[in-house]
């Protein structure tokens, strides 16, 4: 509730000095070279998807690393299988040439 009140007061009482410089998108001081609606290659999205996939998979290693001693040999074998599948997937996408940008 307080957040809504603060936003409403800011909208009602705040200064309204619009200019072309304020309404243009901020690009870290670099002038725009081309249109911002430029199309990206499918490779970009594929790399982003793979990054998210392998990033999430490595998050699964953290809980295992915390309790790996209490899991014993069974936990070690299960994590070895997990890492084997993950490594096989990485080798597969490298051999398919996913990381080549040409």
CB of 28 within 8 A of CB of 43? no
**What are the structural domain ranges in the chain?**
69-102
pTM: predicted TM-score of the whole model, two decimal places = 0.55
The pLDDT averaged over each successive group of 10 residues in the chain (102 residues) is: 93 83 70 70 85 87 87 90 92 89 72
Query: Cα-flanking dihedrals φ and ψ of residue 15, to 5°?
Result: -70, 150
- Residue 85: the pLDDT is 92
Using CA atoms, how far residue 32 sits from 20, 40, 52, 53, 93, in Å, is: 14, 17, 29, 33, 35
* Residue reference for tokens 């299988």: 81
Give the H or E element holding residue 79. Answer: helix 61-95
CB of 86 within 8 A of CB of 53? no
């Amino acid at each position: 509730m307080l957040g809504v009140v603060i936003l409403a007061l800011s909208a009602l009482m705040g200064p309204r000095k619009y200019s072309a410089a304020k309404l243009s998108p901020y690009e870290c001081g670099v002038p725009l070279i081309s249109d911002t609606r430029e199309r990206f290659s499918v490779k970009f999205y594929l790399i982003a998807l793979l990054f998210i996939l392998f990033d999430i998979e490595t998050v699964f290693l953290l809980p295992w690393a915390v309790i790996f001693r209490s899991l014993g040999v069974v936990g070690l074998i299960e994590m070895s299988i997990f890492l084997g599948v993950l490594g096989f997937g990485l080798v597969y996408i490298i051999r398919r040439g996913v990381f080549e940008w040409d």
